[in-house]
């Protein structure tokens, strides 16, 4: 009876030892994963801040362009400008003016 009890006790100790070892491995793996995800989270936060800054700068730049277009239009009537500029010069600047008008119109449409 004692030998059966000792064998049973030895089996329980072995099973518990194996379980503890497995749990230690899982805990170590979980810690490593937590460190990895924490580092990745920090990297993503830095990238998000960089993109936020870049986006803010581009929005400010676009606002400056829109203000410049509005200022140009207030000083020069783009629709009658063709009459006052030599034809050769007009051919060169017409695509630029068309782009500015399209940009202004797209800004007005997206703002509504």
Please state the domain count of the chain.
Answer: 2
- Asked if residue 111 has pLDDT above 70, the reply is no
Q: Is residue 71 part of a domain?
A: no
Better pLDDT: 26 or 68: 26
The burial of 12, by beta-carbon neighbours within 10 Å (0-12 exposed, 13-18 middle, 19 or more buried), is given as exposed
Do 54 and 87 fall within a single domain?
no
Helices (H), 1-112: 2-75, 81-84, 87-111
Better pLDDT: 81 or 25: 25
Of 53-57, 75-79, 89-93, least confident by mean pLDDT is 75-79
Do 90 and 46 fall within a single domain?
no
Do 50 and 4 fall within a single domain?
yes
Do 11 and 51 fall within a single domain?
yes
Q: What percent of the chain has pLDDT over 90?
A: 46
Domain that holds residue 94: 76-112
Q: Is residue 42 part of a domain?
A: yes
Do 4 and 25 fall within a single domain?
yes
Q: How distant, in Å, are the alpha carbons of 6, 8, 26, 69 from that of 18?
A: 18, 15, 12, 75
User: Contact 69/104 with Cβ under 8 angstroms?
Assistant: yes
Do 54 and 100 fall within a single domain?
no
Q: Is residue 69 part of a domain?
A: no
- Asked if residue 34 has pLDDT above 90, the reply is yes
Name the nearest CA neighbour of 69 among 22, 43, 35, 106: 106
Do 58 and 102 fall within a single domain?
no
């Amino acid at each position: 009876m004692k030998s059966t009890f000792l064998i049973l006790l030895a089996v329980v100790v072995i099973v518990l030892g194996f379980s503890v070892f497995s749990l230690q491995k899982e805990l170590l793996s979980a810690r490593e994963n937590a460190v990895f995800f924490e580092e990745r989270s920090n990297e993503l936060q830095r990238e998000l801040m960089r993109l936020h800054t870049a986006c803010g700068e581009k929005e400010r730049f676009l606002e400056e362009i829109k203000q410049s277009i509005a200022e140009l239009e207030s000083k020069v009537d783009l629709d009658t400008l063709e009459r006052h500029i030599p034809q050769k010069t007009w051919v060169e600047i017409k695509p630029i003016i068309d782009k500015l008008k399209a940009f202004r119109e797209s800004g007005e449409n997206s703002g509504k």
